[in-house]
Structure 1
């Protein structure tokens, strides 16, 4: 079914059975290359994050709240990419994509849940670093096992009721005859564009939710790091300052990449670039950023590197 222009409020209302994912069918010469590249990256993400989960679980020196949250973060990254990448790889193989209406709603729901959960976990990790550096003597008391588990449970569950409501609003809206989704997965902006008539209220709800979550959590992280940097600069020795900063360098790098790329993808003006550029930006946000996270945490964290070396040595001996 061809779609031309915007949906008209007077258009025919139909019960959509499926969406056609245009994906990267408009660049057929790149599809084989994209399949190979994305497949390699996906395998790397699965292996890299699984390795982090294993070494932070078995190494006695990494049994701290910091690495407990890192373990949650790595598992989340596996879930996050698995929502979109397997279907994308399948669609690249067959050169077209179709997704049932219900499956589209489910994919959007889980994708947005995992995006928000990632924001919450990064915020919890910032709080952990704040307590460790600004209140080191009270760190074992404040960041005990009970609080760590409670924070992790809150991170994984707090976004669920929010997005149940949002997805219900989006997919209970009327859709016209057009079912072509100019994207490679069911993300909220392209789906909302297919809503019949005036979708301003749904768009505003989407922006408000993104802005609220993003701004509140980014301010909490920023506030934590203002305190952290201020405390680090007051340390008497350069060695102490370097050691303190190294414990949060990986996290700060991941936070910067995640929030900046998210702002570029979701908070940009509608007419700032073409849909083709939007798709490649989303590809960067959903696949390339998760690929960098295991590298950052392994290369920028000495404790993880030491634990990884010991783990690999044991595997070689076995």
Structure 2
């Protein structure tokens, strides 16, 4: 029986970590691709040598040739420049939009039926770029944002309350950026609202820290950005698709009327399975939440307008 095949484009910190995690999670044969000669080959060779230790039978190869990615089931796009101190995600747009366009075109040439998970920042604009370029239906192209942001949100809440992160349920919606919306009223610990467990000022501080989670890490690293959790988040999404898990995950998905939004990718709770985004879970937002989501939409619209202008669409 044929194993599934996952291609990770971009062999930097996020891409290499995603390839490593995808192999450990048993997603199938792994291809790590990058334009830099030797980098994907060396990292893939190193990773392939942990197979006897981890009990893995999959293949892990590194390449500069898109032909080696042929017939991939899922393509994870991490290519692009990363943030440095003082940079916003928007600062990356002009450079990364051209990269994402090119890698999407080349990858889909050899894997016409693949599902695409976009990680490159600014994610909501880059997943739009990949969607427009690929010609794939909307359910097959999705952006990694909410899984990462929600993981940060849950971690901060768990540490503040003094419980296991496994028992915290919380979701972040909206843009992957300063206007993201960590939903407070839905956050809970095994059903107990966090508003019953933490004072408002502490919750407000956690919301703010979640919104600035990426910048906080960039400030520490100085020369790079987060990669362990972004990589794990992308693999969690790919895993849900490959194994038809029907996971409910917050992802940047193309909206056509859901939550009153049309024509943009935005972080919302979706069901991920063998058909990609199989359903968007809608629920009623409060007036305050609607106002905050509107800010996300306005920001995404600015990014999309920039993408269309850069690419002449």
**Which has a greater percent of helix?**
1
**Which has a greater percent of strand?**
2
TM (norm. structure 2) is 0.26
**Higher RCO (CA 8 Å, separation ≥ 6 residues):** 1
Decide which structure has the larger Cα Rg and report it: 1
TM (norm. structure 1) is 0.26
